[in-house]
């Protein structure tokens, strides 16, 4: 699906080349073509992602088990989440986009293999409660080389930040300097902002009807973290009125993160989520 989105953007750029001769027009001219203002906007939507979550947490004395949270711990692979976003246009070329998506998954299951999670060992047959809590916040600046009402196209730059909290709780044994057994909860948090660059594309298909596509990518090393992110989204939105529209599309995000601890606690995370989106948008 991600390759399909990129291919569609490239095809659209070729198809719309004739209308790019006039690169930028003013706000009033854009609204005359589009039928919708574009100074600022708010969006509230739903996101129905399918998750891929693989995490490995090493301890001080032992290497951790790579855990597939959906397969090994029976966390829901699909979930409904709420998506908040907003934008403000500073001028004909420049605008700032903000988006926020939180979710929380929790499940209790009986594991069928031994799991080493940090310094805690959970034996096969133990009943484990797993929780994966996350928040995704993006702050993206967009510079549009073309913004003539029919086509908007340009480059992105900003921050994609992921807050995660992975917790396992159940009958286990702690190893290390001392040892203990019983009901043990072990949690690991990852807060990792990745600078991203990308492209955005918006095409007026008909008055008040638009196709949008966007991609952001990057890799970075920050304070003991190594990570990369790939984000793609596309949607169709129709405005039945001048200021209120409804849209639907597809979005996909993949994070790969490695954290090196000073005294153990090394962590590897592969966190992906992709699915259908639907939203209501107000523009002014």
- What is the DSSP secondary-structure string of 248-271? EEEEEEEEEEEE--BTB--EEEEE
Residue 22 has pLDDT above 60, yes or no: yes
Question: What DSSP assignment string belongs to 175-232?
Answer: -SSS-EEEEEEEEEEEEEEEEEEEEEEEEEEETTEEEEEEEEEEEEEETTEEEEEEEE
Q: What is the mean pLDDT of the chain?
A: 88
Top-confidence residue, 151 or 23: 151
pLDDT tens for each residue of 148-177: 999 999 999 999 998 999 999 998 888 755
What pLDDT score was predicted for residue 190? 80
Distance CA 128, CA 266 (A): 22
**Domains recognised in the chain with CATH numbers:** 2-283 (2.40.128.90)
What pLDDT score was predicted for residue 257? 86
> pTM of the entire structure?
0.86
pLDDT tens for each residue of 208-248: 999 999 999 988 787 677 888 999 999 999 999 999 999 99
Quick check: 254 and 3 in contact, CB under 8 A? Answer: no
Average pLDDT over residues 42-47: 97
What pLDDT score was predicted for residue 239? 98
Give me the percent of the chain exceeding a pLDDT of 70: 87
Beta strands of the chain (E only): which ranges? 40-57, 67-68, 81-89, 94-110, 115-117, 120-122, 127-147, 151-174, 180-206, 209-222, 225-238, 244-259, 267-283
Place of tokens 């086509």: 151
Top-confidence residue, 186 or 45: 45
Average pLDDT over residues 82-106: 96
Distance CA 130, CA 107 (A): 5
pLDDT-derived band of residue 264, with 50, 70 and 90 as boundaries?
low
């Amino acid at each position: 699906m991600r390759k399909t989105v990129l291919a569609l953007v490239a095809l659209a750029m070729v198809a719309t080349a004739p209308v790019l001769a006039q690169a930028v027009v003013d706000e009033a001219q854009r609204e005359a073509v589009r039928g919708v203002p574009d100074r600022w906007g708010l969006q509230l939507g739903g996101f129905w992602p399918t998750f891929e979550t693989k995490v490995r947490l090493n301890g001080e004395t032992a290497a951790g088990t790579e855990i597939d949270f959906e397969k090994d711990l029976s966390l829901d692979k699909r979930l409904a989440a709420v998506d908040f976003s907003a934008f403000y246009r500073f001028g004909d070329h420049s605008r700032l986009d903000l988006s926020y998506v939180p979710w929380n998954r929790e499940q209790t299951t009986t594991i069928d293999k031994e799991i080493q999670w940090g310094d805690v060992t959970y034996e096969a047959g133990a009943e484990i409660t797993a929780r994966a809590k996350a928040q995704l916040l993006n702050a993206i600046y967009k510079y549009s080389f073309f913004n003539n009402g029919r086509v908007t196209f340009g480059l992105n730059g900003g921050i994609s930040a992921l807050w995660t909290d992975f917790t396992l709780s159940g009958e286990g044994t702690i190893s290390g300097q001392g040892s203990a057994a019983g009901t043990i909860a072990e949690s690991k948090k990852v807060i990792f902002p990745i600078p991203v660059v990308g492209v955005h594309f918006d095409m007026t298909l008909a008055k008040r009807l638009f196709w949008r596509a966007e991609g952001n990518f990057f890799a970075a090393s920050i304070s003991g973290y190594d990570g990369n992110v790939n984000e793609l989204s596309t949607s169709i939105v129709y405005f039945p009125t001048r200021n209120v529209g409804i849209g639907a599309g597809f979005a996909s995000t993949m994070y790969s993160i490695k954290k090196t601890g000073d005294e153990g606690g090394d962590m590897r995370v592969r966190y992906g989520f992709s699915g259908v989106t639907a939203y209501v948008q107000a523009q002014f």
